[in-house]
Structure 1
Amino acid sequence: MAKTKRRTSQTVTILDVASRAGVSPMTASRVMNNNPRVGEAMRDRVLAAATELNYRPNLAGRSLRSSNAARIGLLYSNPSAAYLNQLMIGVLEEGSLSGAQILVEKCSGIRSQRAAMQRLLDTGVDGVILPPPLCDSRQTKRELDLANITVVAVATGAPVAGVSSVRIDDYQGASAMTQHLLDLGHTAIALIKGDPKHTPAVLRAQGFVDTMARAGLTVPAEHIVPGLFTYRSGLAAASTLLKLKNRPTAILSSNDDMAAAVVAVAHGMGLRVPGDLSVTGFDDTPVATTIWPTLTTIHQPVTAMGRTAVRLMLDEIRCKRSGKPKAGNHQVMKYSLVKRESSAAPPRG
């Protein structure tokens, strides 16, 4: 019978060792880092599993763990480069001011996400900041919790006890934008929703629908179309809406990337923005002021939220190191409605 080939060290993670030994990732990590608080029998079990799997600990991670400086990971899969750039500016600036080490990892699917998390664990991070949509991933939070890693969620619409978070009130932001369009005289207002896996997208949609209902207006089903927070999804949504017989006079997009796509489609069809169609966005990313006409949008202080996320993380790490774990701290930051050139009264007739 052919012998089973050993997995190479490049493909084996501490999670694999923990699974083989039947222990938690935190226990396996303690053994590999010579933590004296692990019993001898447990230590032998983990080391046997590591030997069997040909596991080799990450030396760079060990070097970092010898430092007292906080090590903060940022794990992201957000499709909006503009949003991420703003967030990273805040995270890196605050990290530099505090002396914290910031490590950034990108992921996409479940497999790459697991690998990215392992790379962060191997470098000895004390905590991980999760921007959207990972901030709403129960699996991601669970795996980091099993590894005894502190989490701070950015822009989640569903904060949970014990996990610090920073966000804005997405429901009220969408409601304010809808009311702005109503005040201009629009009644035929359409919505391009965001990624349904991201809780703020759900809150923004609900804020729109509820505000229209309070104004005594029923939104036709065809005036609410799906989106994914990407420019491409905005193109598809805009094409659908602008070909309707009862075309809306205003479109509220759940983020700026999709709003920019609406403007492009409208221009391609010979429609004037805002003369024939008002278009609004959400987030106030750089694209809002680099397209023509400039976008009316909801300003989300993304850079400031990045700074706040680092401060929340540092507070959690200090408490953890002193043996005093604290409950999650949830901060709601202020948004503002920024009126620019893309919204105006509806066309007459």
Structure 2
Amino acid sequence: MASKAGSSPTIVDVAEQAGVSIKTVSRVLNKEAGVQEKTREQVLKVVAALKYRPKLAARSMGGGRSFLIGLLYYDPSAAFVGGVQQGATLRCRESGYHLVVESLHNDAPDIYNQVDRMVSALRPDGMILTPPLCDNPKVLQALRDNETPFVLLSPGQQPADQFSVRMDDELAAEEVTNLLISLGHERIGFIKGAPDQAASELRYRGFVRAMRSHDLSVEESLVWEGDFTFPSGVEGAHKLLSRSVRPTAVFASNDDMALGVLAAAQRLGLNVPADLSIAGFDDSSAASLVWPPLTTVRQPTHEMASVAVEMLIAAKGNDAEAATPQSSHRVLPHQLLVRDSSRALHSSPAPKKKA
């Protein structure tokens, strides 16, 4: 029986025209296993012919899913969260899911109750947690108590029974430091990130490891604790660059702080990179727009978020592969981008190109 003229087709219409049960249509739309390929093709053909668009609530009741994935963040660096949100949104859209983004204060005394109320109201199929929430035991416990799957992005600790996606922050920071050393820099200033985020310590470890591997000392006076914000980069740069013997290069733990270093250097009358080389971390949108463009590390935020969504969808579908160690903990590759903010120490400026 066809739908009434002017009314939208229903799942009943699809089932009748495809000659299958409503449950079979639901299983096809939810991409569940156990449906013969011929039947699947027939159902999808009818769906296309009728231009049937399943309502979210109906899909939820039919497949036991809400088709919602949550993204929780508390991070002063917009570059990281922005990249994660874009990557997760695109991957959700491809799979017929919706992304719900919520900001939580990591130090909120009632954070367990906030997460509990949120999950009880939305009933998401899974949650993606960014730093530092991914290391907050109250957040994790609230999700476990609600039996909600979750993926940790760049966690400081990696529980064996939880999904996680990250890049190798320590290795990336070591590569940046090795680059500066290869350019002849030995007095290198370092600006740490927020102390409540695991990446801050990992990037500092990479810096120290590279310095020590080249028998270079790490001077405490050349290390400043920032918080991943532009103002902390400005403040740290003024402290480091006002010394009687200033560093010839500064490595900031993210691009926001590196941009603060660049601004401070220019206010102090220093030429970058002739007087000072600067490197950042993240490859934010601003990193390639400023002058000189920043040498930095491209963190695969889009890819990390996309993989996280895939993990949650697979887990909700009881995909056996989702439980294997190889797929439960993913480390994605990064890229070192060498730009004009770093240069060999005491090198001559490049000749100007003729117009």
TM-score normalised by length of structure 2: 0.76
Whether 1:89 aligns to 2:60 is no
> 1:246-290 CA distances to partner (integer Å, 9 max, x unpaired)?
210000111100000000000010001111000000111112112
Q: Which has the larger radius of gyration?
A: 2
2:205 alignment partner, SS class: helix
Q: Which amino acid aligns with 2:148?
A: I
Query: What's the offset of the Cα at 1:346?
Result: 2.1
C-alpha contact (below 8 Å) 1:71/1:101 kept by paired residues: yes
C-alpha contact (below 8 Å) 1:132/1:156 kept by paired residues: yes
Query: What's the offset of the Cα at 1:158?
Result: 2.5
1:203 alignment partner, SS class: helix
- Deviates further, 153-162 or 209-218: 153-162
1:245-284 pair list within 5 angstroms: 245-284=244-283
Aligned to 1:37: none
Q: Which amino acid aligns with 2:61?
A: S
Q: Within 1, Cα distance between the matches of 2:62 and 2:285?
A: 37
Q: Which of these residues, 102, 106, 109, is aligned with residue 105 of structure 1? A: 102
2:312 alignment partner, SS class: helix
1:128 alignment partner, SS class: strand
C-alpha contact (below 8 Å) 2:112/2:138 kept by paired residues: no
Whether 1:186 aligns to 2:185 is yes
Whether 1:202 aligns to 2:201 is yes
C-alpha contact (below 8 Å) 2:131/2:197 kept by paired residues: yes
> 1:58-90 CA distances to partner (integer Å, 9 max, x unpaired)?
xxx999953634321111111112222111111
Aligned to 1:243: 242
> 1:181-235 CA distances to partner (integer Å, 9 max, x unpaired)?
0000000001101112211211110110111011011111111110111112112
Query: What's the offset of the Cα at 1:331?
Result: 0.5
> Structure 1 pair 77/230, CA: closer, same or farther in 2 (3 Å)?
same
Query: What's the offset of the Cα at 1:124?
Result: 1.1
Q: Within 2, Cα distance between the matches of 1:284 and 1:189?
A: 20
Q: Which amino acid aligns with 1:214?
A: S
- Deviates further, 119-128 or 91-100: 119-128
Task: Provide the alpha-carbon RMSD of the alignment.
Answer: 2.2
Query: What's the offset of the Cα at 1:240?
Result: 1.0
Q: Within 1, Cα distance between the matches of 2:255 and 2:62?
A: 41
Aligned to 1:79: 76
Aligned to 2:61: 66
Q: Within 1, Cα distance between the matches of 2:235 and 2:110?
A: 28
Q: Which amino acid aligns with 1:194?
A: G
Query: What's the offset of the Cα at 1:298?
Result: 0.8
> Structure 1 pair 231/115, CA: closer, same or farther in 2 (3 Å)?
farther
Q: Which amino acid aligns with 1:72?
A: I
Aligned to 1:304: 303
2:292 alignment partner, SS class: coil
Higher relative contact order (CA 8 A, sep 6+): 1
Q: Within 1, Cα distance between the matches of 2:69 and 2:218?
A: 44
Aligned to 2:323: 326
Whether 1:129 aligns to 2:125 is no
> Structure 1 pair 113/76, CA: closer, same or farther in 2 (3 Å)?
farther
Q: Within 1, Cα distance between the matches of 2:283 and 2:322?
A: 36
Aligned to 1:43: none
1:310 alignment partner, SS class: helix
Q: Which amino acid aligns with 1:136?
A: D
> Structure 1 pair 332/153, CA: closer, same or farther in 2 (3 Å)?
same
> 1:19-69 CA distances to partner (integer Å, 9 max, x unpaired)?
xxxxxxxxxxxxxxxxxxxxxxxxxxxxxxxxxxxxxxxxxx999953634
1:319 alignment partner, SS class: coil
Q: Within 1, Cα distance between the matches of 2:73 and 2:226?
A: 20
Q: Which amino acid aligns with 2:182?
A: D
> Structure 1 pair 298/63, CA: closer, same or farther in 2 (3 Å)?
same
Q: Which amino acid aligns with 1:146?
A: D
Q: Give the unaligned 5+ runs of structure 1.
A: 1-60
